[in-house]
Amino acid sequence: MAEQWMSIVEYARTFSISDMTVRRRIKNGKLNAVLRDGKYFIQVDSPNVAKQMSAPTLDTFTSPPSNTPDIAPSANRSNSVPRQPMLHHEKGGAVNAGNWSKPENLIKSRHEDLDHMLDRTDQDPHMKAMLDYCERSINRINSIERHLAESYQHKFARLESENKRKDMEIAQLKQQVEDLQILIKMYDRESKT
């Protein structure tokens, strides 16, 4: 059995848990980890990894990433970066995990997965029923969204016209107040004379 070493992120992805959970388990002593060059690496048995991993599998390095002391100077960190793990898709073919960070590769992979899933849909009636249900749900949600958008547009238009009407009414009342003030001044002048 070869020993495998995984970084916190690789371990979290492999076992479908968050990296914070992995860090917490290391802190609590539930996971054994080695600190190398400022990064924790977790030793994992090969059979356990194979059991835990689903569609993508992860080839990790078979020896600890570095033989430097636990706390390495920052100058040595760039030289001791572990190599990128390789992901194996269930259809075959390895893909460098570093390429998954590029959006076009992720989109291409998702389209391939979608095509594969749609191929299986023809064979599985439960999958077809589920996809039909999802499509109906999405259409219903889109219909509700359109209805709400139209409703709010009508309300907005009504409130806007009401606001304009009130602005005109306020302008008329201001004009009347000015006219009344002028009349009061004229009346005061006449009463003084």
First to last CA, the chain: 118
Distance CA 45, CA 30 (A): 15
Q: Which of 45-59, 62-76, 98-112, 122-136 has the lowest average pLDDT?
A: 62-76
Phi, psi of 41 (to 5 degrees): -125, 135
When computed from its CA atoms, the radius of gyration of the chain, rounded to whole angstroms, is: 35
Q: What are the residue boundaries of the structural domains of the chain, listed by start?
A: 3-83
CATH class name, domain 3-83: mainly alpha
CA torsion sign for 15, 19, 25, 31 is positive
The per-residue pLDDT for 69 is 45
Q: What are the residues whose beta carbons fall under 8 Å from the beta carbon of 7, sequence distance 6 or more?
A: 39, 40, 41, 42, 82
pTM higher than 0.75 = no
Predicted confidence (pLDDT) per residue in 15-73, tens digit: 899 989 999 999 898 888 888 888 888 888 755 554 554 434 444 444 444 444 444 44
Residue 138 reports pLDDT greater than 90? yes
89-109 mean pLDDT: 53
83, 52 in Cβ contact below 8 A? no
